[in-house]
């Protein structure tokens, strides 16, 4: 049987990326086609290693080649990825493809916990990830990564981020005593955050996560102005007081003066299931509040994370959640949804440029 590369490409042009709504060939995602007798191999370059539809696209490629070329072919798509970016201006953080701010109107809803677990899941998927603690007055990342008391090094006048579990981490907590930062005035806090973007050697990153302080105050406006944020993720609990503040946060980012896209809403502490009754769900803070806000603003609901003791203990102990736990799967799914929204936003922007 003689099979040409053109025939393979023609077959694959019948497979669409469900998010980008175009076929894989037009999207230039098919690379390195190799044909040897009945064996066909090619690379499928996805827009993120965390792509939730990886398996579906892989199966669709096999089916398309077997259907349009020959059912006797042994088809092996190698799923690879190259994370896309929408950044034009590259003066600040030149090697960073996507900068994602994790915010909330209300304090204590789980921003830092979501930010850290998003970073972990994205890194587990194979992406290069950094996380910047923008909460100057209440830095959480040293504890949440188990890096208390560690100091970043300096190379050629630039600060080197600490690296934990493959993730680059910077926090004011590594530099000054916590009590010292707390008395800083606004401009000092803002300039510290600015320095974290200009004077830190972040290198090449697919995703840089910013863990923001609570609220919608001056410091948020400064960050939105000084840091080229690609988009934001808003965390809320389903409780009505949190929802009111969540709306403020969404409106702040969407305000024309700020104009930062909102990738979606994360509903945290959505429900509690006792360990001995995993099928029971108690909606301690109300049900689906985050989901309803997402619907109101026509934004994606990126995920609903349950209230689970191991989420708290992993944060307090600075360790990753065990791979075997179902909450790890919930965070992986959340990271996949976020990466997907980032890729869609980048693709829409590249089409309109």
Ligand X SMILES: Nc1ncnc2c1ncn2[C@@H]1O[C@H](COP(=O)(O)OP(=O)(O)OP(=O)(O)O)[C@@H](O)[C@H]1O
- Please list, in sequence order, all residues whose beta carbon lies within 8 angstroms of the beta carbon of residue 187, skipping any fewer than 6 positions away: none
Stretch that binds Mg ion, among 5-13, 53-61, 132-140, 162-170 (CB under 5 A): 132-140
Applying CB under 6 A, which part among 67-75, 161-169, 292-300, 311-319 lies near ligand X? 311-319
Q: Is 139 in the site for ligand X (CB under 6 A)?
A: no
The binder of 311, among Mg ion, ligand X, none, by C-beta within 5 to 8 A per type, is: ligand X
Q: Which does 104 bind (CB under 5 to 8 A by kind): Mg ion, ligand X, none?
A: ligand X
**Interaction of residue 111 with Mg ion, rule CB under 5 A:** yes
Contact 233, 302 (CB under 8 A): yes
Contact 233, 90 (CB under 8 A): no
Residue 237: CB minimum distance to Mg ion, A: 14
Cβ closer to Mg ion: 95 or 215? 215
* Beta-carbon-side half-sphere exposure of residue 103 (alpha carbons within 13 Å): 30
86 binds Mg ion (CB under 5 A): no
Binding mask 50-89 for ligand X (x = CB under 6 A): ----------------------------------------
Closest residue by Cα to residue 125 from 333, 341, 303 = 333
Contact between 138 and ligand X by CB under 6 A: the answer reads yes
Q: Shortest approach of Mg ion to residue 135 CB, angstroms? A: 5
Residues numbered 209-248 forming contacts with ligand X, rule: CB under 6 A: 214
Asked if 175 and 98 count as a contact pair (C-beta separation under 8 A), the reply is no
Ramachandran class of 276: left when φ > 0, alpha when ψ lies in -120 to 50, beta otherwise:
alpha
Could you say which of Mg ion, ligand X, none residue 142 binds, taking C-beta under 5 to 8 angstroms by partner kind?
Answer: none
User: Contact between 286 and ligand X (CB under 6 A)?
Assistant: no
112 binds Mg ion (CB under 5 A): yes
Q: State the binding string over 258-277 for ligand X (x if CB under 6 A, else -).
A: ----------xx--------
Total chain residues near Mg ion (CB under 5 A): 3
E runs forming strands in the chain: 16-17, 22-23, 30-36, 39-46, 74-81, 96-103, 129-133, 154-155, 158-159, 162-164, 167-170, 205-211, 231-236, 262-272, 301-307
Residue 339 burial (CB count, 10 A): 29
Q: Which residues bind ligand X (CB under 6 A)?
A: 104, 107-113, 135, 138, 140, 214, 268-269, 305, 307-308, 311-312, 315
């Amino acid at each position: 049987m003689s099979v040409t590369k053109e025939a393979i490409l023609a077959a694959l042009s019948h497979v669409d990326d469900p998010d980008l709504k175009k076929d894989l060939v037009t999207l230039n995602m098919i690379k390195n086609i190799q044909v040897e007798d009945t064996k066909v191999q090619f690379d499928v370059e996805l827009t993120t290693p965390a792509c939730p539809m990886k398996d579906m696209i892989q199966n669709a490629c096999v089916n398309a080649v077997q259907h349009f070329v020959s059912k006797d072919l042994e088809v092996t798509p190698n799923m690879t990825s190259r994370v896309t970016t929408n950044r034009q201006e590259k003066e600040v953080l030149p090697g960073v493809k996507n900068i994602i701010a994790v915010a909330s109107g209300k304090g204590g809803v789980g921003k830092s916990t979501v930010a850290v677990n998003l970073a972990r899941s994205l890194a587990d998927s194979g992406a290069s990830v950094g996380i910047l603690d923008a909460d100057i007055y209440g830095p959480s990342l040293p504890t949440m990564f188990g890096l208390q008391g560690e100091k970043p090094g300096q190379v050629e006048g630039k600060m080197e981020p600490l690296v934990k579990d493959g993730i680059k981490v910077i926090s004011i907590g590594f530099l000054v005593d916590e009590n010292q930062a707390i008395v800083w005035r606004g401009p000092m806090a803002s300039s510290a955050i600015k320095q974290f973007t200009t004077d830190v050697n972040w290198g090449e990153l697919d995703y840089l996560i910013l863990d923001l302080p609570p609220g919608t105050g001056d410091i948020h406006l400064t960050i939105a102005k000084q840091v080229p944020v690609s988009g934001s993720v808003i965390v809320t609990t389903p409780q009505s007081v949190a929802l009111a503040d969540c709306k403020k946060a969404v409106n702040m980012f969407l305000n024309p003066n700020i104009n930062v896209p909102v990738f979606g809403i994360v509903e945290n502490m959505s429900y509690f299931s006792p360990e001995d009754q995993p099928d029971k769900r108690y909606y301690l803070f109300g049900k689906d509040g985050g989901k309803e806000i997402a619907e109101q603003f026509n934004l994606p609901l990126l995920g609903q994370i349950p209230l689970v003791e191991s989420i708290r203990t992993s944060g307090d102990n600075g360790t990753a959640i065990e791979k075997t736990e179902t909450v790890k799967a919930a965070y992986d799914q959340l990271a996949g949804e976020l990466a997907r929204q980032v890729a869609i936003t980048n693709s829409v922007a590249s089409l309109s440029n």
